[in-house]
Structure 1
Amino acid sequence: MLSLKEVDLSRCSKITDAGIKHLLSIPALEKLSISETGVTADGVALLASLTNLLVLDLGGLPVTDSALGSLQVLTKLEHLDLWGSEVSNGGVLHLKQLPKLKNLNLAWTGVTELPYLSSLVCLNMSNCTILSLFEGNYHKAQLEKLIMHGAKITDAYEVFQYVETNMLSFLDISNCSLDSFCFLPSMEAMTHLNLGDSSLVDNSVEHIAYIGANLRYLNLCNTRVSSEGIGALAGLVPNLETILLAGTLVDDTAVLYISMMPSLKVVDLSRTNVKGGLIHQEDNVLNEVPSFSALQNLSHLEKLDLEEIRIKDTALCPLANLGRLSYLSLRTDSLTDACLYLASCVPKLVHFSARDALLTNAGIELFVPPPELEVLDLRGCWLLTKDGLLSFCQKHPQIKVNHELVTTHDKENSRYLSPPPDIMSSQPPKRKQEKLSLPIIKPDESFLDQRLKYNRDELLSMRFSSASVSTSNPQGNLI
């Protein structure tokens, strides 16, 4: 195999130093990954003879300072992965001998200080204690991507002092020990910013607003940001495509501010105080409208996460007007069969999740899936029975259904049931005719679903009783 250029042996625990000796017979090798194997520091040192290497992944190996010193002859190296190694501050000095090194991963190591590396573009120091970066040179590092997830940073000024911050376009400081974010306004080229699980509060959001012009991705999950903080970004992030607010303090007012971010494609409001209720919207006169109606301004919205929030069926009605929405995720026990009707009205829906909802066999029987639906996630919908789910799967074999009782999987572009399909009818369902004849469940704001009056044990006791059989009232609602 003298022409072999790429070998990936990651997580092959039986590969040892003896195996490395065989690799040395392939001088043309350019990409090698031996992360999480049985190779020791001695085996790593042997790689010095592979002088054509461009990419080397040694993640999870006990690479020592001495072994790393042996690799400084690999002058063509562009990507080096050393996460979880035994390399120290002294060992990383050897990296100065790698003139083409662009990507370096030192996550989960004891490195606290990094020398100036002129060619470095991407640096990962996640879960490290960082004292300083690139100190001791008149030039600043031209980093474009910096990842410091879970890092302990004692002084943010020392960390960024020798970084050309106006070149940074990707910054991940999620779960970091930072109390101040005053360094953000200098990062004018920022497109991807992850501040999730940090101590960020509303007063600090103004620092993000300064660099909002180029932002495309913003993660504020599990921070202490409220709707007031999101209001500071309204109108200042014209290119933002993704905003993640799961686990924050935002409420329905934030939805109005989010609607002023015209390029949004992905919105996550899971585990927030959003309920889809009425908000005041001033449009010459003061009006009260459902908060989700404001999302109709987002003509590019494709993915919406609303898991673990107390939302009712009627609050979802405005979502039917989101013409490009393809992914909708809901998870709450306050939703009923009516949410299925609303899902059927979203024309481009591909993935629909209604986990833990109070759905019944009657509701799933009457459900008319959108024409492009591929995945239906009904996990936790414990009122559904196996027979009801199997019946739906038979009618709609093109849809992958996720539920504890029934699973489907792909096989040669078709959907099959588990248990095997021999339990199904030999006649294929005539889906087109059935779809036209199915009655429609329309939500009625004046209707109160009676299931909401009972707890889980009471509903379970009535599950197979004759009293639980669904009928239709004159308005078309299930009772």
Structure 2
Amino acid sequence: MVDKVECGDGIRCGSAGPFLFDKDEGHGGPAESRRAGHVWCKRGLTLARRKANLCSARRRLWRSGCLLGILVALFFALGSGAGWVVRRSRQAARQRDAMARIRSLGGVAYYDYQYRRDGGGERLERAERRPAPAWLYKLVGPDLLHRVFYVNFALFRRGDRESRQPILVDEVTDREMAILEDLPGLRWLSLNGTRVTDAGLGELARFAHLERLWLSGTQVGDRGLWHLRNMRWLRQLYLNGTRVTDAGLAHLAGLDQLEKLWLTGPQITDAGLAHVGKLTRLDLLFLDGTGQSDTGMQHLRGLRRLEWLRISRCGRITDAGLEPLSTLRRLRELDLSHCPRLTDAGLVHLRRLRAVRALSLRGTGVTDSGLEQLRNMTQLSILHLEQTRCSLSGVVHLFTELQGRDVREALAAVGRSEQDSAGRLVALDLTGVRVTDRGLSHLKGCSRLEWLFLQGSEVTDEGLRELAGLKSLKLLHLAHTRVTDRGLKHLASLSQLQTLHLAGTAVTKEAVRDLQEGSAGRLRVYLIDFSQYGYVAPPGASTRKTRTPRSSLPP
């Protein structure tokens, strides 16, 4: 008899070798096999064990491989981290040394954590609020955790920032530009008033990610702008008071992200504006004292994104030169001051500029008749008319009769004003505005007015009659007006009046004494001009002062 046994892997083994189960034979197989019984052979058991061991070995190998991979990754991570710490520590040390050198030169710097972007734009905070715990900064210092974002060497005289005339900083020259090499995170740089030249700007060529650059009042010229040609991220460039000419502006052609540009000086002519006209992303352009003519103004036609435009002290521009501005529908602030050849005829080209909120026409030949062309500027809130033939009455006519607005909006637009919490005028400065006796009649509704400045106006004795209803008036400035003794009697009814300025008038000391006696010692009269010292707003007033088109001053 041939013994047949059943292996553990479903194979029958016998003298003839293994063969597959016959499914039709049933569970027991052939008759002799059923009679002999089934046993597990050693060979089948060995194969099963080998198979199980192979699977187990594979699992152990896979686990070992994973563990080895984790260990290798952890090793490289620790190595990379340690390398980063070493490199960053070295960089922090260099940055710390650069910061010390910058401070020794009178400069200031801001770190990246002080940069803020919000709905109102970009800003830098001076406060020492830091994102990490104070103990960490005390332990490692800010230079390990943050990069320097902004460096400013500019100095301005107190109260002189608006003139953009920085104080000369002799200590900062081309040689000091090498300090900036250790500040790879630098994005804003102000060199206003320094002795930096074209050679110094060559050191800045490595800062391809520079976003703002102030060069006002430096010795930089056309060659210097050549070094800026690859600063593709540059968004703001200030060149007022430099030696840049038309030829230098050609190097700005590749700065397709440039948004704000300042230029000054007669060396900028029509040819230079041809290059400026290609910078189509500009939203701010200041041309102060430049030499372009009406022909050059045509190049501004394509700057459709402009929101702030200053064309001041440009003696060659005539009324025809304003025609290209009619296409700049986004303009919000427009400054045409001290362009003496501009007249009422030029304002015709501004009729489509409905978004304008601030307009300066000071020093032009505009009259009240020309103001009628501004009727579509219904958002106008600031209007400079100093040194023109426009009067307060003309402004009130524009706002009330042509635009249907309140007279208080007209007064606030043309002068500096202060308001209380309810929005009522409590202080009004009309210095420089052509105010006549007729114009004072528009103040009748300002019953809460406390301070009124009319120095240098055309007000006479008859005009003071219009002030009798201002019962809350406490301070009145009439210096250098046509007021005489006869007009003072109209002020006797102002029971709250405490301060009166009459310097440069024909009022006599006798009339002043009589007025003071009638006030029971309440009134103080000054015959000396103190206007150069300015004034302080009444308590509780909210400031609403005039302003020039927005700029991006260094903080």
Q: TM over 0.5, yes or no?
A: yes
Please, what TM-score do these two structures have when normalized by structure 1? Answer: 0.61
Q: What's the offset of the Cα at 1:228?
A: 0.9
Match of 1:335, SS state, is: coil
Residue 75 (1) aligns with residue 184 (2): yes
Match of 2:89? Answer: none
Q: What's the offset of the Cα at 1:351?
A: 9.9
Q: Structure 1 pair 333/74, CA: closer, same or farther in 2 (3 Å)?
A: closer
The match for 1:121 among 216, 235, 247 is: 235
Name the % identity.
Answer: 18
Offset from partner CA, 1:213-251 (integer Å, 9 cap, x none): 2112111121121111112212x1111111111221112
Q: 1:363-382 residue pairs with structure 2 within 5 A?
A: 363-367=490-494, 380-381=504-505
Match of 1:219? Answer: 335
- Equivalent position amino acid for 1:53 in 2: V
The match for 1:240 among 339, 351, 356 is: 356
- Equivalent position amino acid for 1:61 in 2: V
Match of 1:317? Answer: 441
Residue 143 (1) aligns with residue 258 (2): yes
Match of 2:215? Answer: 106
Q: What's the offset of the Cα at 1:202?
A: 0.6
Query: Is the Cα contact below 8 Å between 1:173 and 1:194 reproduced in 2?
Result: yes
Match of 1:263? Answer: 379
Q: Structure 1 pair 18/121, CA: closer, same or farther in 2 (3 Å)?
A: closer
* Counterpart Cα distance in 1 of 2:399 and 2:271: 39
Match of 1:357? Answer: 481
Query: Is the Cα contact below 8 Å between 2:447 and 2:471 reproduced in 1?
Result: yes
Q: Structure 1 pair 410/106, CA: closer, same or farther in 2 (3 Å)?
A: closer
* Counterpart Cα distance in 1 of 2:235 and 2:104: 29
* Counterpart Cα distance in 2 of 1:108 and 1:250: 33
Q: Structure 1 pair 93/345, CA: closer, same or farther in 2 (3 Å)?
A: farther
Q: What's the offset of the Cα at 1:404?
A: 3.0
Query: Is the Cα contact below 8 Å between 2:282 and 2:303 reproduced in 1?
Result: yes
Q: Which has the larger radius of gyration?
A: 2
Residue 303 (1) aligns with residue 413 (2): yes
Residue 383 (1) aligns with residue 487 (2): no
Q: Structure 1 pair 166/202, CA: closer, same or farther in 2 (3 Å)?
A: same
* Counterpart Cα distance in 2 of 1:166 and 1:77: 26
Offset from partner CA, 1:106-164 (integer Å, 9 cap, x none): 1111212312222222211111222345756873332222122x334344444662775
The match for 1:404 among 529, 532, 537 is: 529
Q: What's the offset of the Cα at 1:102?
A: 2.0
Q: Structure 1 pair 133/159, CA: closer, same or farther in 2 (3 Å)?
A: farther
* Counterpart Cα distance in 2 of 1:378 and 1:91: 55
Query: Is the Cα contact below 8 Å between 1:303 and 1:328 reproduced in 2?
Result: no
Residue 55 (1) aligns with residue 150 (2): yes
Q: What's the offset of the Cα at 1:54?
A: 1.7
Offset from partner CA, 1:300-356 (integer Å, 9 cap, x none): 432215655765312443565799999986444631245445467799999986542
* Counterpart Cα distance in 2 of 1:348 and 1:239: 36
Query: Is the Cα contact below 8 Å between 1:140 and 1:162 reproduced in 2?
Result: no
Query: Is the Cα contact below 8 Å between 2:500 and 2:523 reproduced in 1?
Result: no
- Equivalent position amino acid for 2:382 in 1: V
Q: What's the offset of the Cα at 1:58?
A: 1.1
Q: Structure 1 pair 80/307, CA: closer, same or farther in 2 (3 Å)?
A: same
Query: Is the Cα contact below 8 Å between 1:201 and 1:225 reproduced in 2?
Result: yes
- Equivalent position amino acid for 2:414 in 1: L
Structure 1 window deviating more from structure 2 (110-119 vs 376-385): it is: 376-385
Match of 2:203, SS state, is: helix
- Equivalent position amino acid for 1:218 in 2: L
Query: Is the Cα contact below 8 Å between 1:165 and 1:187 reproduced in 2?
Result: yes
- Equivalent position amino acid for 1:140 in 2: L
Q: Structure 1 pair 368/78, CA: closer, same or farther in 2 (3 Å)?
A: farther
Query: Is the Cα contact below 8 Å between 2:359 and 2:382 reproduced in 1?
Result: yes
Query: Is the Cα contact below 8 Å between 1:125 and 1:151 reproduced in 2?
Result: no
Q: Structure 1 pair 66/391, CA: closer, same or farther in 2 (3 Å)?
A: farther
Match of 1:55, SS state, is: strand
Match of 2:305? Answer: 189
Match of 1:230? Answer: 347
- Equivalent position amino acid for 2:255 in 1: K
Q: Structure 1 pair 145/239, CA: closer, same or farther in 2 (3 Å)?
A: same
* Counterpart Cα distance in 2 of 1:334 and 1:27: 53
* Counterpart Cα distance in 2 of 1:347 and 1:134: 59
Q: Structure 1 pair 267/322, CA: closer, same or farther in 2 (3 Å)?
A: farther
- Equivalent position amino acid for 2:211 in 1: K
Q: Structure 1 pair 22/269, CA: closer, same or farther in 2 (3 Å)?
A: closer
Residue 205 (1) aligns with residue 330 (2): no
* Counterpart Cα distance in 2 of 1:402 and 1:109: 45
Q: 1:5-84 residue pairs with structure 2 within 5 A?
A: 20=104, 52-59=147-154, 60-62=168-170, 63-84=172-193
RMSD: 4.9
* Counterpart Cα distance in 2 of 1:18 and 1:146: 26
Match of 1:294, SS state, is: helix
* Counterpart Cα distance in 1 of 2:520 and 2:177: 56
Match of 2:370? Answer: 254
Query: Is the Cα contact below 8 Å between 2:266 and 2:289 reproduced in 1?
Result: no
Q: Structure 1 pair 68/276, CA: closer, same or farther in 2 (3 Å)?
A: closer
Q: Structure 1 pair 394/204, CA: closer, same or farther in 2 (3 Å)?
A: farther
Structure 1 window deviating more from structure 2 (66-75 vs 220-229): it is: 66-75
Structure 1 window deviating more from structure 2 (91-100 vs 342-351): it is: 342-351
Match of 2:281? Answer: 167
Offset from partner CA, 1:365-389 (integer Å, 9 cap, x none): 334789xxx9987664562766657
The number of equivalent residue pairs is 364
Please, what TM-score do these two structures have when normalized by structure 2? Answer: 0.53
* Counterpart Cα distance in 2 of 1:191 and 1:347: 42
Offset from partner CA, 1:159-209 (integer Å, 9 cap, x none): 662775332121111222222322221111112111121122111111222
Query: Is the Cα contact below 8 Å between 2:473 and 2:494 reproduced in 1?
Result: no
Query: Is the Cα contact below 8 Å between 2:148 and 2:183 reproduced in 1?
Result: yes
Structure 1 window deviating more from structure 2 (183-192 vs 331-340): it is: 331-340
* Counterpart Cα distance in 1 of 2:516 and 2:472: 23
Match of 1:183, SS state, is: helix
Query: Is the Cα contact below 8 Å between 2:273 and 2:292 reproduced in 1?
Result: no
